[in-house]
Structure 1
Amino acid sequence: MSRIMIVVLSLYSFGSHVAIADSSDGIKPWLERMAVASTELSYKGRFIYNRNDDTSLMEIVHVAGENGSRERIVSLSGEDQELIRDQEGKVYLMNVGPPLLIDKGMRDIPLAVRLNDNLGRLLEHYCFELEKMDRVAGRKSQVISIMPIDNNRYSYRLWVDVETAFIIRSELSNEMGDVIEHIMFSDIELRKKPTDSMLEAVLYDEELVVANGNGSKAPLENANKHKGLWNVTGAPLGFRQTDSQDNVSLGTKKSVAYLMASDGLASVSVYIEPLKNAKNVLKGASRSGALSVYGRIVEDHQVTVVGEVPPVVVKRIGDAVIRSKMSQRQ
């Protein structure tokens, strides 16, 4: 359940279409409004999340701010869990006693911002279409479809609130056209300025935080050990390396290298760590619902690639991971 909730935190028959695949003129005003809404609106609501035939009901409070957003998300069905994500992207489990840091995370770039900022690049890989209007949670919505021009990425369908340009419903479909992830708000309160109750909902006592499951908030040893030593070469299938930083395997003290590759919309994470146990080796590609995973061994290191993309993409990216010559001499 925690993994599903973290994925949600990282987000966020209709007749004839108005195709604009060859021009951004029609879609650009919508994307500009959506980008503003995703960074400036605060909201509280309940939504249904369906993935891998598992349906969950959740409640979210999102407070926007100049230095980043803060969120609290509570599961209302299934396992009882409550998470808070702070302005730095760190995720805390809140219903087990003191706030427990379960994901070091990083600041996410909202989906709407990625679409707006990367439109020129995205038009190389996707077709954008405006569909007819629909209604979600009693609100008039413009449906926008984002269809890939090849089989190397998934398609998206977004329901955008006409009044505020907030994404109120979304669908993710695989390369076969099957819907593999669906998020839909059943009710929502949108505000330009957060209420006092919204602000209170995202607060927690930083002095009580327990990090990495070991009661310490201190940085782990060798935290910078791997930085800059690994890279994704080229731009396999249009996915370029966009980030390189240190990360920490959850629940352990070992540091791992972390890379990210993106086509401007979809993102793929790469984790590299020293191979210490030959019995726990991940090799080859697999898929579970929207998520594809690929593993290979490079110079006694386990390379693990994870992303909501077809298996061929994680394999191509994983096969493009190399260790720098400088690191090999160390």
Structure 2
Amino acid sequence: MHLPIPSAFRIPGRLIAAWCCLAPLGPAAAETPQPAAPVTTAQARVPERSVSEWLLRMHEASKLRSYIGTFVVLSSNGGMSSARIWHACEGNQQIERVESLTGAPRSTFRRNEEVVTFLPETRVVRTEKRESLGFFPSLLKSADSSIPEFYGARRLGHDRVAGFETDVVQLAPKDSLRYGYRIWSEKKSGLVVKLQTIDVDGTVLEQAAFSELALDAPVRMDKLNQMMGATNGWRVERSEAVKTTPEAQGWQMRVPVAGFRPISCYKPPFAGTQAPDGALQWIFSDGLAAVSLFVEQYDKQRHVQEGQYASGATQTLTRRIQDWWLTAVGEVPPQTLKAFALGLERRK
């Protein structure tokens, strides 16, 4: 679960205002939630929510609430970033502004699938259309998934995050192909306010949370739309990946990876010109975790070393496949990317 974060503000791996309550990551950093209050007779009649019920509640909350907040991501490898976010929604329309607080200055606006990024240092605006795979604090990447087959859920207790009372829920994987998650969701609405990605040993690989949050804030959609379109005086660079199919590009998954379904496949607009012919991005998801396979023609000058490395919760694998070069990226265990690499096959 890639900790879902606004697309324009993904750090390598899955963002820090000086948030001293974050302890160093690792088994000791997995705070122990307060035990749930004693259950009354009336409460005992209410069944525990299933994994699907928890996730649906959290997902809907992210679509229905307007808010302003500062969120922070801390990775186990020491990576830290933070951003300020303004989110507004009216019916099925959603728009958000994300202002980076660390690293190079940038302001990113996302309106449904349209993304506009302002880079003030170069006075460049980049526009693109991008399908959402679920961004923080939204968790679901695919409505058509078999999440209950591969994850179980249980409530651990309660806690306070950014001044809000929360339920703490553990999502545990049922196999070794995916990570587990610990989620703090605001009690009244279900909005996710904190999330940890956890490996099989219980180590916290990455943590994202609101350090400050104002729910139902007066965020005006018309004002955000106006800011999003204010490109006069900026150099506008437009990029729109071309949808395709792996079959049309000559690829197939000979051996599927359990639980992961193909979501979409894109051919970059530059493919076939200066870039290697057939370059593509093939995206898979199990409903929570996502994996991207980037395939291009092998170039001995650029593609020097095969290997696998981690950055927080994100794993990256590079491998040569005949005359092609694969780069697999995902917030999944190393063996999952290896399974994708072994299953990918060039069609005759």
- TM range, normalised to the smaller chain? 0.7 to 0.9
- Are 2:104 and 1:84 equivalent residues in the alignment? no
- Are 2:315 and 1:322 equivalent residues in the alignment? no
Structure 2 match to 1:41:
65
Give CA-to-partner distance per residue, 1:114-158, whole Å, 9 cap, x none.
Answer: 289457x22222221112111111111111110112322111111
Q: Give the residue type in structure 2 aligned to 1:46.
A: T
Bigger relative contact order (CA 8 A; separation at least 6)? 2
TM-score normalized with structure 2 length: 0.74
Residues 41, 312 of structure 1: CA spacing in aligned structure 2 closer, same or farther, 3 A cutoff?
same
Structure 2: unaligned runs, 5 residues or longer: 1-5, 16-31, 38-46
**Contact conserved, 2:280 with 2:294, CA < 8 A, in 1?**
yes
Residues 26, 276 of structure 1: CA spacing in aligned structure 2 closer, same or farther, 3 A cutoff?
closer
Q: Give the residue type in structure 2 aligned to 1:231.
A: Q
**Contact conserved, 2:36 with 2:158, CA < 8 A, in 1?**
no
Give CA-to-partner distance per residue, 1:195-229, whole Å, 9 cap, x none.
Answer: 36863685233564522xxxxx3769x98697732
Structure 2 match to 1:182:
207
For residue 266 of structure 2, the aligned residue among 245, 248, 258 is: 245
State the identity %: 25
Q: What pairs up with 1:1-330 in 2 under 5 angstroms?
A: 5-7=9-11, 13-14=32-33, 25-51=49-75, 52-65=77-90, 69-101=94-126, 105-110=130-135, 112=138, 114=140, 117=143, 121-191=146-216, 194-195=219-220, 199=224, 203-205=228-230, 208=234, 210-211=236-237, 217=238, 228-229=248-249, 230-247=251-268, 254=275, 256-325=279-348
SS at match of 1:181: strand
Residues 274, 151 of structure 1: CA spacing in aligned structure 2 closer, same or farther, 3 A cutoff?
same
CA distance in 1, matches of 2:68, 2:312: 28
**Contact conserved, 2:255 with 2:344, CA < 8 A, in 1?**
no
CA distance in 1, matches of 2:270, 2:130: 11
Give CA-to-partner distance per residue, 1:76-95, whole Å, 9 cap, x none.
Answer: 24543333334325351332
SS at match of 2:337: helix
Segment of structure 1 superposing worse, 137-146 or 110-119: 110-119
Q: Give the residue type in structure 1 aligned to 2:9.
A: M
TM-score normalized with structure 1 length: 0.78
CA distance in 2, matches of 1:271, 1:55: 26
Q: Give the residue type in structure 1 aligned to 2:148.
A: L
CA distance in 2, matches of 1:137, 1:204: 32
More helix by share: 1
Q: What is the CA distance between 1:25 and its match in structure 2? A: 4.4
Structure 1: unaligned runs, 5 residues or longer: 212-216, 326-330
Q: What is the CA distance between 1:53 and its match in structure 2? A: 1.4
RMSD across aligned positions (CA): 3.7
